[in-house]
Amino acid sequence: MARKFFVGGNWKCNGTAEEVKKIVNTLNEAQVPSQDVVEVVVSPPYVFLPLVKSTLRSDFHVAAQNCWVKKGGAFTGEVSAEMLVNLDIPWVILGHSERRALLNETNEFVGDKVAYALAQGLSVIACVGETLEQREAGSTMDVVAAQTKAIADRVSNWSKVVIAYEPVWAIGTGKVASPAQAQEVHDELRKWLAKNVSAEIAATTRIIYGGSVNGGNCKELGGQADVDGFLVGGASLKPEFIDIIKAAEVKKSA
């Protein structure tokens, strides 16, 4: 079974209501491949989720950038998975490297978050990736495998999980993993899933690439056999996000 190409736009901590309306207008007017070719999800900051959800075209979906690790309650400043479900937000990004680094989210904590969000019915974009020091030390696969294992240990149903491989050294730096570097890690990650979860999960789970993806490099990256799409940062706030969505066509012609 072919894996449907997936393009996520992570808006991070950016935007005003006016800017968000402009981005949504650009997306709504765009000519993009149909839903059977590409799945598109955009992730605005929490405060703009209802605005985007209510105005965005129906063939694109909305994701939160994070959620709390368990049921809501006395957790000031947090947003629970249940609240996202209540607002009809179908997706959530968990374990982004910025949260792992800046907020000290551990592999185990991220694994718990993924399991809890899935249990509430959300679909999850689970992020993994190594730092520059880890890559230079030759431990990329050890790091990514440990991050993935913390999720695999807690998850039995993978049908609503997309793995985003995001080399930390390539996020927002302008440095991009070469298509060969991205393919190598995606291939290794898929082999890890086959060995440690199942061959079926390995074959059907989408592994997307994130890290300075833009209109200029998306086709070559997307053409790699084990790259099933992208999680786009800065470029998702710009019109070139449309070009990145269109890169899904490389799989159709492959």
Q: Which of 9-23, 105-119, 181-195, 239-253 has the lowest mean pLDDT?
A: 239-253
Give 110-158 pLDDT, tens digit per residue.
999 999 999 999 999 999 999 999 999 999 999 999 999 999 999 999 9
Name the active-site residue from 61, 82, 96, 98. 96
Q: What is the mean pLDDT of the chain?
A: 96
Measured CA to CA, the distance from residue 13 to residue 97 in angstroms comes to 14
Structure-token match 């609240």, residue found = 83
Could you state, in order of their start, the residue ranges of all structural domains in the chain? 62-237
Look up residue 151 and give its two tokens.
Answer: 């999720």
Name the active-site residue from 39, 98, 166, 186. 166
Q: Quote the pLDDT of residue 254.
A: 56
Q: Write down the pTM of the prediction.
A: 0.97
Q: Quote the pLDDT of residue 3.
A: 95
**166 a catalytic residue:** yes
| CA distance to 7, 64, 152, 156, 197, per residue, from 244 (Å) | 8, 21, 29, 32, 31
Q: Which of 14-23, 107-116, 244-253 has the lowest mean pLDDT?
A: 244-253
pLDDT band at 253; cut points 50, 70, 90: low
**96 a catalytic residue:** yes
118, 124 Cβ separation under 8 angstroms? yes
End-to-end CA distance of the chain: give it in Å, rounded. 15
Q: Check whether 38 has a pLDDT greater than 90.
A: yes
Q: Check whether 1 has a pLDDT greater than 80.
A: no
Give 166-219 pLDDT, tens digit per residue.
999 888 788 888 999 999 999 999 999 999 999 999 999 999 999 889 999 999
Residues 6+ apart with CB under 8 A from 219: 247, 250
Q: What is the CATH number of domain 62-237?
A: 3.20.20.70
